[in-house]
Amino acid sequence: MARHHPDQGARGGRGVPAGEPGDPRVPGGADRPRHRPPDRSRLRRTRRAVLHRQHRIGAGTPGGHPVPARPRPPARRLLRPPGRGQRQRAALRRARRHDALPGVGVDLLLRRAGRHHGRADQSRRHPDAVERPVRRRRAAGAGPDDDPPRGATAGLERGGRPRPAGGAAPAEGRRGGGRSTVSGRTTRKAQPAPGRRAATCDVRGDGRRCAPLNEIVVRDPGSGAVEAYAACSCGRRYPLPWTTRARLLAFLPGAGLVTRGSGTIAATALDQLVSRTVWPADSDRRFAKRGVVPVGTPVLHEPTAPAPLITTGLVTLALHMSSVMRQARGIGLAGNQVGVPVRVLVHKLGTVAPETLVNPELLRSSGTWEYTEGCLSLDVPETAARVLRPRTVLVRAAGIDGRALVMMADELFARVLQHEIDHLDGVEYVQRLTGPERARVYQVMRDQGVDVAVMPPRPYGGPAPR
């Protein structure tokens, strides 16, 4: 090791005394070492700090005016609420920052994020989600016109598979893979929340759990507001996928299906028709429930006419039909079942879709499903029968408030819609029967004195047998 010469400077060069020309501290020194490039990020931070200080004291310009601050870019606005993954990543970022709370670990922050933004807030945060209605227990009945019995299988085997007529394997409809078919294309079907066990459904029965069977889209023609959701048969609601919502909206026209009106000739004629033909609620006739038109009446076996407008008389008719349906302990009622030949129906599944449907139109159907049906217009013992109908139907209608609806219905709701639309077309449910069941029911009606000549067989998928 070389010894330090006393004449060398404390910070001098190689053997050159301090202050001599060879000292690198002297400008122009011969042995001046190489310097590192300037730290530009440090320079930027220093310049930013100086400008900030000048802006605060008002000395940024020769005139003493502050230097204007650089405007911040506008905050990005999210189109939809953050998901669970985004909340977890934000919690991780907070945990890794230097200003994180002392003693708070990553797991605790993740649990807080999942608990604070749980599914209890999803119905309020999601733009298309709606609150879940309170489920009500239904009284026992005997068919689509009656309340479904609590826990009744209603033609279903265990596991939710329908029992086919004659042992034939039914078409699965939309039961495969959680997908539905709309307009010939496959779209995703609403699914229950992941990680959450669905509750047992009292309406579906047989211990099966709630599921988003029915897909509903409602649009207000005035404001253009759209309400879209999926619902179980008991009324429990789920969010509807955007793809399914777009497919269903394609079946709705730009304008409303039926408009509200009063004072016109058409509105006056409709109100007079309703007041002239409606049956009183206390009328009691043979073969029918109180206030309901019995089989054999001409208005029950003829197609009805669409309502041109939604008038005060039509609203009064809907209220009257709803009262008669509940008085008779039914689950659905058509307009001609109270004597009015207008295309309007009411149903008791108001938590699934609007209770009153004006001018309903069946667009598509798929699959098969067997279910026990009865009728308020055919109150004859031993006439309830198992009818094989399509499992899912696509129906377009208007609400009593003028909003347009399109519904992809399944199971019970689809069966109620098909039963009541058949009534509006002048078809009784016994006309859809086939095989030994049809022979049995028709023989019972003949024995009770019912005129079966007005109800010729009209089964699905072929001409009526002789």
Which residue has tokens 């409602």? 218
Contact of 233 with 412, CB cutoff 8 Å: yes
CA distance 28 to 22: 9
The letter for the amino acid at 66 is P
The letter for the amino acid at 296 is G
Contact of 426 with 364, CB cutoff 8 Å: no
Contact of 126 with 119, CB cutoff 8 Å: no
Contact of 108 with 116, CB cutoff 8 Å: no
Contact of 331 with 145, CB cutoff 8 Å: yes
Mention every residue, 6+ apart, whose C-beta is less than 8 A from residue 459. 431, 432, 433, 434, 438, 465
Neighbours of 253 (CB within 10 A): 10
User: In whole angstroms, how far apart are CA 457 and each of 258, 372, 416?
Assistant: 33, 18, 20
CA distance 339 to 380: 20
HSE-CB of 466 using CA atoms within 13 angstroms: 0
Length of the chain: 466
The angle formed by the CA atoms of residues 457, 174 and 409, to the nearest 5 degrees, is 65
The letter for the amino acid at 410 is D
HSE-CB of 296 using CA atoms within 13 angstroms: 14
CA distance 275 to 342: 12
CA distance 183 to 394: 10
420 is catalytic: yes
Residue 419 annotated as lining a ligand binding site: yes
Which residue has tokens 């650089």? 70
Residue 375 annotated as lining a ligand binding site: yes
Which residue in the list 20, 420, 428, 437 is annotated as catalytic? Answer: 420
For the chain, helix, strand, coil in percent to 5 are 30, 15, 55
Please give the DSSP secondary-structure letter assigned to residue 373: E
The SS3 assignment for 406 reads strand
List the binding residues for Fe cation: 375, 419, 423
- Could you give the residue numbers annotated as active site? 420
